Homo-oligomer: A and B are copies of this chain.
Amino acid sequence: LHHLLFWDKIKYMLEYTREQLWQQFLPLFYPKSIAIVGVSHNPLKIGTLWLKGIIDAGFPGRIFPVNPRGGEIFGLKILPSLRDIPEIVDYVIVTIPRENVSGLLDDCAAKNVKAVHFFTAGFGELNDVAGYRLESILLEKARHGGFRIIGPNCIGVYCPEARVPYGPAGKIGKSGSVGFISQSGGIGEKLVELGFARGIHYNKGISFGNGIDLDSADFLQYMGVDPAVSVIGMYIEGTRDGRRLLKAMTTVAPVKPIVALKAGRTETGAVAARSHTGSLTSAAAIWSAMFRQCGVIEVHNIDEMADSLLIFQFLREWDGRGIAIIGGLIDGGGGISVTAGDVCAEHGLDVMPLTLETQQELSQLLGRVGSILHNPVDVSQANGNPAIIKKALELVINDPNIDLTIIQEDIGILHKYLPEVIVSEINAMFIDLKAKYHKPMVMVLPPGLAEAERGQIEQEFNKASIPVFPSMERAAKAIANLKYYSSFKQGLRNYND
């Protein structure tokens, strides 16, 4: 019911109907054919790299390399012009210098293409008359030609489901449910890379650079109605129309979580943004207030963005409250308990006391000497015995005060004291408990002296839908963001009831 309610709201508040959004964005994210303008015989040329990336990614549609000089590459005929393409072209990637771009757009209009993506830079971000004039020519030709522009000065579309890779390096990951909208191609690339490293699986992403036509508000509206996208990360330097973005955020945020990183918050950052995407930034406080008003989760750096996308990928909403912290799987649980307790409390999480019953049972299991048993729980007195750690964990997970369990595993210290089979047994046990009790579990695996093992275990937890963070601080912040969004939704429900 609530879902339908919000759906009605979305229909009402978006500028376009769902059908219009599909019509505009499907050829862009799921193109039937792609033309790449600026391919040459030089394998290191950017257009050629782009072509190779799309072929290597296994893009199933037609691919048309374009260069006035013609020729052949990777077994494909290079066509002299877009007009020579014998079929319909959905998506055009432009890598030629800005001087040659204007004529190309007439070809796009003639070919009736749907979207033109300009990797080419050298427009408004140069802050000179020539750059702005070029942008207005582009925009005018797009309006008359009936196609949309992505960019200029960007990496464009990423859609693993459609086998469209991110950028000329041809990166493509497993398709998932996370979306990103990034004004910066480099930040998009970083998000894709962190996706591989952290197990964040994207459904689609976009880097739109100067955003002279399609802007963050457009992509946000589309991702808002795209059922394949469950959470949206946004990297914003500025926008040409704050009111549109506000409206889009207000409409989409109640339906799916939006995690936003506003860059150019400071004078230093703002000057850089001016040269980067030609963005005029405004006061950081205004943006923060707008995010709060819309229920958008604001983050302050790319790591926090990745952390939040990761947790929302697995735990889209969370109705709970009480958090348990487990540390000292083999040693060092005391300091971890104190510092983790501080960090979680400072981020506004409720580290709830365990019931007296649980505390008594833990005391019988672990003994009082050397143990910390109220929560945080130091299980080091189990001396690395997987059966005892398991019993302790089950007591905590099933405590009525506990809705989410954070486990800190110092993998370097574990490997120092325990044989590898025991470490594996302990990790398999966590995964079993997660599957058995269906209560949210979050792992903290700090970097240290067993990096290869840590990477492998992180992947195993990812497969089991257990998010992994490199520090208690970052886990706490991500859970706090999850809690923030859940409270926002709860508030909306109370309002609507």
Query: Is A493 close to B, CB under 8 A?
Result: no
Tell me the complex Cα distance, A368–B153, Å. 13
Question: For the side of the interface on A, what is the size category?
Answer: 35 or more
Contact (A269, B369) CB under 8 Å given A471-B303, A472-B301, A473-B303: no
B342 to A268, Cβ gap below 8 A? Answer: yes
A410, chain B: closest CB distance, angstroms: 7
0 or 1 for each of A146-163: is its CB under 8 Å from B? (1 = yes): 000000010000000000
Query: Is A374 close to B, CB under 8 A?
Result: yes
Q: How many protomers of this protein does the assembly include? A: 2
A186 to B266, Cβ gap below 8 A? Answer: no
Tell me the complex Cα distance, A225–B117, Å. 65
Query: Is A448 close to B, CB under 8 A?
Result: yes
B370 to A335, Cβ gap below 8 A? Answer: no
B473 to A332, Cβ gap below 8 A? Answer: no
- The residue that A272 contacts in the complex, of B271, B300, B338, B346, with Cβ under 8 A, is B338
0 or 1 for each of A240-272: is its CB under 8 Å from B? (1 = yes): 000000000000000000000101111111111
A465, chain B: closest CB distance, angstroms: 22
One of A9-17, A190-198, A432-440 contacting the partner = A190-198
Query: Is A235 close to B, CB under 8 A?
Result: yes
Query: Is A273 close to B, CB under 8 A?
Result: yes
Tell me the complex Cα distance, A235–B334, Å. 12
- The residue that A335 contacts in the complex, of B196, B235, B265, B412, with Cβ under 8 A, is B235
Residues of B near A335 (CB, < 8 A) are 182-188, 190, 235, 263, 276
A186 to B328, Cβ gap below 8 A? Answer: yes
Residues of B near A471 (CB, < 8 A) are 301, 303
27 A/B residue pairs, CB under 8 Å, sorted by A: A153-B370, A169-B416, A171-B416, A185-B331, A185-B334, A186-B331, A187-B339, A190-B446, A193-B410, A193-B448, A197-B447, A197-B448, A197-B449, A235-B335, A263-B342, A264-B342, A265-B342, A268-B344, A272-B334, A272-B376, A275-B371, A275-B374, A276-B338, A300-B343, A300-B346, A451-B451, A451-B455
B-binding residues in A (CB < 8 A): 98, 121-122, 126, 153, 169, 171, 182-190, 193-194, 196-197, 235, 237, 261, 263-273, 275-277, 300-303, 328, 331-339, 341-346, 351, 368-374, 376, 378, 410, 412-413, 416-417, 446-449, 451-452, 455, 470-473
